[in-house]
Amino acid sequence: MEDSRREFLKKAGVGSLVGLGVVSAISVIAEKTSIASSVGDAAADASGTRYGLVIDTKKCIEDCTVCSDVCHAIHNVPDHRLPDGKPDLKNEIKWIWKEPHVNTFPSKSGEFLSDDLAKKHHVVLCNHCKEPPCVRVCPTKATFKRADGIVLMDFHRCIGCRFCMAACPYGSRSFNWKDPRQADNLKVIGKDTGFDREFPTRERGVVEKCNLCAERLAKGLIPACVEKCPGKAMTFGDLNDKGSEIRKVLASNSTIQRKSELGTGPSVFYIV
Amino acid sequence: MIEKALTGSRKYWTWVAVLLVLIAAGLYAYGQQLAQGLTVTGMSRDVSWGVYIAQLTFLVGVAASAVMLVLPYYLHDYKKFGKIVILGEFLAVAAVSMCMMFVIADMGKPMRVFNMFFYPTPNSILFWDATVLTVYLGLNIFCGWVVLQAEAKHVAPPKWIKPFIYLSIPWAVSIHTVTAFLYAGLPGRHLWLTAILAPRFLASAFAAGPALLILLALLLRKVSNFDAGKEAIQKLATIVTYAALVNLFFYSLEFFTSFYSNIPGHMHSLQYLFVGLHGYNALVPWSWVSLILGVGAILLLLFPSIRKQENILAIACIALFVSLWIDKGICLILGGFVPTPLEHVTEYSVGSFEVMITIGIYAIGALILTVLYKTAIAVKQDAAK
Amino acid sequence: MYDTGKIVTGLVIFVAIVTFPIWGSIGGPSELPKPVIKESGRCIESAEFMRANHMQLLDDWRNSVVRDNERIYVSETYGTKHDKSLSSTGTSLVNSSEEKKSCMSCHSNKKEFCDSCHDYASVKPYCWTCHIEPEEKI
């Protein structure tokens, strides 16, 4: 009798383990079917929307910072400063900014650049890639690719592991090493300067980057940087829409992408 | 069995007290980090991983090295390792525990750590790393404990533990391969984007881990009367020698590919590490010290007549361990971020809370190891009677 | 019995810890909270529904708005369409000639409404570390 009770317990134990295993396997398989959308299946996107930008570097005004200023203002991007007032580069957050030509396109030659290009700074931002490495590595899908091609951050879910920052080959991402509301431009709620009441700040401990103004797109507006650019250097649109203005610009201008050899499929094109 | 760790000499309790003080300091520093944010570390927008992830990477290797005892003993019946397999398994437990603590310390939002399991993402290597490390921890605790308990009861280990022990062998290889995959698949980081990264990780793990085990075995002989046996230590030394040679060879292959191909992206990170880049050279002394210590250790280990002298063996093991710790734990991780994807150079200098937390976590690992080793030694000494 | 001293000490500590919810809340709120709503009008759901489900509702909203770009909510009680919004305003997506109404449009007195229950239940929702609290209407 002792033995058969023991045998029964053994079988019950193994049986429940198998049962639990089957249940969890089914739920993991159900999750797996949603990988395609998070990794950015190229075939699926071809028929849907794919938002992109074309930046005409010839129209981009050299010392202008309007795109950067307006983006950082409406998105409450903190401007951390050191006690002496200089920018705190260690804790810096930036969504869109300017880099010299050789830093924007390091895989292109820097030898014997034209006089224009040698002095030129280009606008750099998240490329909202077709096959984003950041989405591939995020362990919680807090960085994900939306159906319309935008690579978005879900700040509610981000665990702050910063794997996406290591994965991004363009250096587009910033991490909140400290509380963003400690920055001078965000210290006081209720004041008009710098604080956009409509857009949340982020918390300490999450990664952030350009969101292609998803909140504006939801209202039928175009990204703020595109709208406010004084040189009208930026064109925004649906890359998959053959009749769109952005496709016309791409068809009639010679464009390049940043680090296209890496297979990321950037959605930001530069007329150089 | 663990009650055996509650009795000990004065030296034992002094050692535990020292560890507890270091742990308390680490906890205080972690409290400060939780309150102020990761800004207290040396990490920045451009160098977004630092000392914590570096220690994680190195310690996964140390944890994997348990397989170098398990494989010969269980798969090839190398009886000389019989006494010390448990030391390898318990070292793996301490090392993986430290890995997990370093991950928590590094996270921006540690309270959200379970999001990795609520929203499993099979295409993310970090998800797999968390999974395989957790399973490996469980395997080593389970196998080590069951076999030790059998020994305490003077019986042979139960047959059903064998499949788990055999599983731990490929699993050990997998944890360090998966950790290498964290780095080796990132398109923008040329120091890491190499197929040989996983073999390099395994080779340096099988050199550093057994080297540490030799040091621990020699130490145990001094502080207790547990003797691993001369043959076991010499066999471990042989394993360390071969692994260190293979690791040095693999590392030199990197130099060939980078500098013979003359591709700037491949060369820049190695230049930063060994001669400096654009005037930035903070890691140059570290890289050279690592190389000199590593080559020096290999020269000592190469000759059996030198290797057999245990005090010189100890020096070689210390030198090799430090060399690999610097190489994998500092140069590889920090060097991967230089130059940045935009071809700038930002350097990293460690923060004081960061150092305290790191030491605190190492102290917790040392405490886990102390308690487990004390238990194992007490059981084995009782069983011998 | 053996080790009487240690056992009794351990028991006393245990009982103290286990009864902490009782003696630890002396001096705290003793009355049930009475949330005050200043504005008139109808919420998007009934009070019973909201009392039980507003946490789940907000959690569903933040996932569907951010991840799926689904910004319109259909009320379970009334079947009407509403913008999914905790505090942000602007143009309504349901009716583009109107202002978007958020939860805080009606429940703007956070201290008297939201906080009265949250403080009592010792719940600390972290929405407001990021989302910006609307200015209290006097």
B286-314 pLDDT, tens digit per residue, is 999 999 999 999 999 999 999 999 999 99
A106, A157, A160: residue with CB nearest B343: A106
Is the pLDDT confidence value at A189 over 90?
Answer: no
* A198: chain C residues, CB-CB within 8 Å: 88-90
Cα–Cα dist A47/A241, whole Å: 9
* B114: chain A residues, CB-CB within 8 Å: none
Neighbours of B310 (CB within 10 A): 17
Give me chain A's average pLDDT, please: 88
- Given the cut 0.90, state whether the ipTM is greater than it: yes
Q: Does A154 touch chain C (CB under 8 A)?
A: yes
> Is residue B366 domain-shared with residue B284, that is, in the same domain?
no
Nearest CA in chain B to A95: B45
Considering the segment(s) A52-271 as one domain, its CATH architecture is 2-Layer Sandwich (3.30)
Residue B157 counted as domain residue: yes
> Is residue B160 domain-shared with residue B40, that is, in the same domain?
yes
Residue B220 counted as domain residue: no
Is the pLDDT confidence value at A45 over 60?
Answer: no
Q: What per-residue confidence (pLDDT) applies to B146?
A: 95
Distance from CA of A125 to the nearest CA of B (A): 12
Judged by CB atoms closer than 8 Å, whether chains meet at B124 and A93 is answered as no
Q: What per-residue confidence (pLDDT) applies to B383?
A: 83
> Is residue B46 domain-shared with residue B142, that is, in the same domain?
yes
B289: tokens are 């010290």
Nearest CA in chain A to C66: A154
Judged by CB atoms closer than 8 Å, whether chains meet at B126 and A137 is answered as yes
Q: State the average pLDDT over residues A198-203.
A: 90
Q: What are the residues whose beta carbons fall under 8 Å from the beta carbon of A55, sequence distance 6 or more?
A: A122, A123, A233, A234, A268, A269, A270, A271
Q: Does B163 touch chain A (CB under 8 A)?
A: no
> Is residue B24 domain-shared with residue B151, that is, in the same domain?
yes
Neighbours of chain B (3+ CB pairs under 8 A): A
Three-state SS at A241: coil
Give me chain B's average pLDDT, please: 94
Residue B70 counted as domain residue: yes
C67, C88, C135: residue with CB nearest A198: C88
Is the pLDDT confidence value at C92 over 60?
Answer: yes
Q: What confidence tier does B225 reach under pLDDT thresholds 50, 70, 90?
A: confident
Q: What per-residue confidence (pLDDT) applies to A26?
A: 79
Count of CA atoms in the C-beta half-sphere (13 A) of A115: 0
Q: Per the structure, how many domains does chain B have? A: 2
Q: State the average pLDDT over residues B112-139.
A: 94
Neighbours of A84 (CB within 10 A): 5
Residue B208 counted as domain residue: no
Q: Does C117 touch chain A (CB under 8 A)?
A: no
Range of the domain at B246: 188-199+227-348
C6: tokens are 């240690």
Is the pLDDT confidence value at A60 over 90?
Answer: yes
Indicate the helix (H) or strand (E) that contains B182: helix B161-184
CB B213 within 8 A of CB B228: no
Scan for tokens 């409509």, then name that residue.
Answer: A198
C26: tokens are 């002396």
Is the pLDDT confidence value at A194 over 60?
Answer: no
Neighbours of chain C (3+ CB pairs under 8 A): A
Per DSSP bridges, beta strands C72-74 and C81-83 are antiparallel
> Is residue B378 domain-shared with residue B326, that is, in the same domain?
no
Cα–Cα dist A222/A244, whole Å: 14
Three-state SS at C99: strand
Q: State the average pLDDT over residues A239-260.
A: 95
Per DSSP bridges, beta strands A51-56 and A268-271 are parallel
Nearest CA in chain A to C129: A203
> Is residue B302 domain-shared with residue B239, that is, in the same domain?
yes
